[in-house]
Structure 1
């Protein structure tokens, strides 16, 4: 297997040079020696501080340059140096495209970007908007642009604001920091968190990432961008996500997204979400078909009712192969209801109760997603065939 591509080191060297440039020429040789660089004298430093540093780092390896950059960053944040480090360390890793970043920006247009947090405070936590040069006016800053066009003129949407701060071209780690801040409990309430996750995950999955619920603060979920690998993702996930989002994004797709997020991190909750997904799909289909159900109806009965409206009940077919397949679907649903009752977090349990593992949750979630997609696709096909 060929080695992963490496990022050009020139931008990192340039960022190191600029990070040291404010140092007085009187003490630059001492500072450089303290960083482990070759010694020199003040006369050389006075001739050109940039050349002094450049000459001492030009032959350094990638690892040594990164070590030097992290030494400098210990003195305080430095946006340009942080970005250069990010570019080098991300080389060869899985990356999301600029096209996808822009798709995310457009998807965020209807939302309040900073939620409960003042917009400038929110953005300054990620980008130094009060120092970044304006892309619109000479001599101004990005913060000046945002103040004029987001506040005073109200003619800049979220997509344009993200373009202004450099969200579409910054390092991936910074863009992911933005997404995680966007969804943090400090920024917005849980219902809006989950609506955003339901919208963003189908986009992120295109490049192999997803927003996973990794922890909580006072019961509020905290989401982290994770690469989809191993059991974190399955080939059918994007197709199921697309189908369920088109059917009903507000509740059905939200239940599916929650099940996906919990599949490896919270198996018990994932099994509960898998059953909730199927219950929600069945109820939607029954309602759309003009049928009724009771609040006391459990998943097996809801599925039978929905299947009858869709003509999927085994006794509605004469071909033995279809009767077998549809009967097995009913068995899958009954088993999901049973495993949820025995292993999920929906009921209290004793000390010796069996706890589900990630593989149990993966099976339950994938089965629920497949059955839900089959029901939705069948309902859409029946609607399309009606005159």
Structure 2
């Protein structure tokens, strides 16, 4: 970080450098030494400073305007004590993004320039050129560079985690793409991010379009079982089942009513998938309790299909949970209009509903897999 501070101050005129350094709380000095070597002048004033004092100086400098190198240096120091994503996972994300339009509605160079100074970053391919030159040549004119390569070119895999997260949040932002593609990307990226303890959470909206933010898994934001449930449901059905689960997770804290609706949607979708794959039928008018009973019968999970009392009790309680989820959805979700004095759910209610739905859904999917494996 010391070298980044020195380079950030180097463009300052030697005539005013002593005053600038004093303004930053650094030791005073005379202009002759500054004129002799600006770098040595600054080095002499920061060489003995502690990490926290260096960070303070760096943040003071950044108040005057953005500085890519200094921002990266500060991020590296501050991230040293935080949870970090592996380079391996960053590259896996790069590969997952290959089929997508990286910049969506925004021209590619403009989109990337909001995160990396591509018109100043030196090319890794051609001496004397910039990353923007590489992108113009290999993505716009010749089309022989894919998204994974483009992220390599801008330094996404080796730069600060803070900047990589900034890129992911811009990638999913409603300014960049439509909601259906936002959610498709979130459903693809979250199972990857969860490997290192992160996820894209729905934290707000712009004109009704969702805004997603990278959050660390932990505390009330995500339960320990969430990644396990995500893995099981994604393997069962990525497009609809896992998407419903992901959206329910994202809304637990920020939109409890919507999360409760999605908890029911998740269970309905799982039950319908199992009934269809088992060769059964259901009506479009069938509500969740009936769908669950039908799926449970195909899975031999109905209480009356067992004689052992403890299993009858457990399976009966599962049916009661499903019935309760259907009921809470009708009373507390955003699926129906309500009067002014209606009870509104809190985040803890949504957390309970979503966690219960995820657990029951995982139990159904795991049982279905076990039944299928037994037939082989």
Which category describes the TM-score, using the shorter chain as reference length?
over 0.9
Equivalent-residue separation in structure 1 for 2:221 and 2:100 (angstroms): 28
Q: What secondary structure does 1:59 align onto?
A: coil
Q: Any residues of structure 2 matched to 1:46-57 within 5 Å, and which?
A: 46-57=35-46
Runs of 4+ with >4 A deviation = none
Equivalent-residue separation in structure 2 for 1:216 and 1:97 (angstroms): 29
Equivalent-residue separation in structure 2 for 1:196 and 1:246 (angstroms): 16
Q: What secondary structure does 2:127 align onto?
A: coil
Structure 1 residue 126: Cα displacement = 0.2
Structure 1 residue 31: Cα displacement = 2.3
Instruction: Find out whether 1:212 has 2:204 as its counterpart.
Output: no
Q: What secondary structure does 1:167 align onto?
A: coil
Equivalent-residue separation in structure 2 for 1:38 and 1:366 (angstroms): 57
Structure 1 residue 48: Cα displacement = 0.9
- RMSD value, Cα: 1.3
Deviates more, 1:66-75 or 1:282-291: 66-75
The match for 1:97 among 67, 76, 86 is 86
Q: What secondary structure does 1:249 align onto?
A: coil
Deviation readout 1:71-111 (Å, 9 max, x if unpaired):
22222211000111111222211111112111211111111
The match for 1:363 among 352, 357, 365 is 352
Q: Aligned residue for 2:116? A: 127
Equivalent-residue separation in structure 2 for 1:336 and 1:149 (angstroms): 53
Q: Any residues of structure 2 matched to 1:1-387 within 5 Å, and which?
A: 12-387=1-376
In structure 1, stretches of 5+ residues that fail to align are: 1-11
Q: What secondary structure does 2:202 align onto?
A: strand
Q: TM-score, normalised by structure 2?
A: 0.97
Equivalent-residue separation in structure 1 for 2:349 and 2:64 (angstroms): 48
Equivalent-residue separation in structure 2 for 1:30 and 1:240 (angstroms): 59
Equivalent-residue separation in structure 2 for 1:282 and 1:219 (angstroms): 30
Equivalent-residue separation in structure 1 for 2:227 and 2:16 (angstroms): 57
Structure 1 residue 165: Cα displacement = 0.6
Structure 1 residue 61: Cα displacement = 2.5
Deviation readout 1:206-243 (Å, 9 max, x if unpaired):
22211110100111000011112212112211111011
Deviates more, 1:101-110 or 1:47-56: 101-110
Deviation readout 1:143-187 (Å, 9 max, x if unpaired):
111112212222211111111111111111111110100000011
Equivalent-residue separation in structure 2 for 1:211 and 1:223 (angstroms): 6
Equivalent-residue separation in structure 2 for 1:258 and 1:283 (angstroms): 19
Q: What secondary structure does 1:210 align onto?
A: strand
Deviation readout 1:101-131 (Å, 9 max, x if unpaired):
1121111111111111111001000000110
Is 2:218–2:224's contact at 8 Å kept on the other side of the alignment?
A: no
Structure 1 residue 196: Cα displacement = 1.0
Equivalent-residue separation in structure 1 for 2:63 and 2:212 (angstroms): 27
Deviates more, 1:335-344 or 1:120-129: 335-344
Aligned length: 376
Equivalent-residue separation in structure 2 for 1:43 and 1:370 (angstroms): 72
Q: What secondary structure does 1:214 align onto?
A: strand
Q: What secondary structure does 1:347 align onto?
A: coil
Structure 1 residue 251: Cα displacement = 0.6
Structure 1 residue 318: Cα displacement = 2.3
Deviation readout 1:2-38 (Å, 9 max, x if unpaired):
xxxxxxxxxx111110011112222222322233322
